[in-house]
Amino acid sequence: MSGRVISFIDRFRRSESSDDPDRPDAPLIERFQKGDRDAFSVLYARHYERVLRVVWRMVGGRAEAEDITQDVFIRVFHALPNFETRARFSTWLYRIAVNASLDYLKSGRRRFEKAADEDGFERVRGDTADPLTSLDAARRRALVSEAVSRLPEKYRVVIVLRDIEERPYEEIREITGLPVTTLKMRAIRGREMLARLVRRMVEP
C-alpha cells in the first residue's frame, strides 16, 4: 500500500509542476537590487505557483494559502535588497514559505485540522481488492492532498518538500535547519503515516 501511495504522490507532483525551479534568478535579483522593480514582478510570476503549492500543502486550505503566499512575497520584497546572490534564491524562498506556514499553524488561526490518529475520515468504497484502483485521477490527487494535510507538521514539511516538490535532502536541511539523518527518518515515518491515512480514507 505504501508503495502505491508514493506512486500517487509522484503522479500528483508531475501533474501540478509546470514551472522550472532551477532557472537562474541571480540576474533578476541583481536588477532588483539596482532599482529595477519590474525584475521583482518576474520573480513573483516565476515562483508564485510553486510557493502557493508548498503553503497549500502545509496549511490545508486554498484561501489561507493564498493569503500566506502574498505575505511571503511581501517579506521577500523587503528582504531582497540584502539578499546575497551567492545563495540559492529558491532555498531561501522555501525557508520563508515554510516558516510562514508553520507560524500560521502555531497561531491557532487554522479553521480546520484533524490529527493523524483521529477517526472519521471520509471513506470511498470500491469493489476491487485494492480500493485505490477504483478512484479516478482527480480523486486520487484530492485524496493525497487531503492525507498530506493531515500529517503532523514535522512530517508534513518533509513529505511536501522531498516527495512532492522533489527537493534534495541537503536543500531541505538548509530550509529547516535539521540534520539530513533526521529528515530521512521523518520521511520514512511520514510515508508510513501517509499510507495508513490513505488506507483509512479509502477502505470500507
Residue in the structure block whose three cell numbers are 480546520:
112
pTM, whole model, 2 decimals? 0.75
Residue in the structure block whose three cell numbers are 527537493:
167
CATH code for the domain of 119: 1.10.1740.10
Q: What is the pLDDT of residue 123?
A: 33
Q: What is the pLDDT of residue 122?
A: 35
Distance separating alpha carbons of residues 79 and 100, to the nearest angstrom: 14
Distance separating alpha carbons of residues 123 and 166, to the nearest angstrom: 29
- CA nearest to 202, candidates 120, 126, 149: 126
**Radius of gyration in angstroms for the set of CA atoms belonging to the chain, rounded to a whole number:** 18
Q: What is the pLDDT of residue 10?
A: 58
User: What grid cell was written down for 21?
Assistant: 525551479
pLDDT band at residue 115 under the 50/70/90 scheme: very low
Q: How many domains does the chain have?
A: 1
User: What grid cell was written down for 82?
Assistant: 540584502
Residues 53-106: tens digit of each pLDDT: 999 999 988 899 999 999 999 999 999 999 998 889 999 999 999 999 999 998
Q: What share of the chain is helix, strand, coil (3-state, %, to 5)?
A: 70, 0, 30
* Structural domain of 160: 2-202
User: What grid cell was written down for 133?
Assistant: 484502483
Distance separating alpha carbons of residues 119 and 116, to the nearest angstrom: 9
Residues 149-174: tens digit of each pLDDT: 899 999 999 999 999 999 999 999 99
Residue 121's Cβ-side half-sphere holds a number of Cα atoms within 13 Å equal to: 24
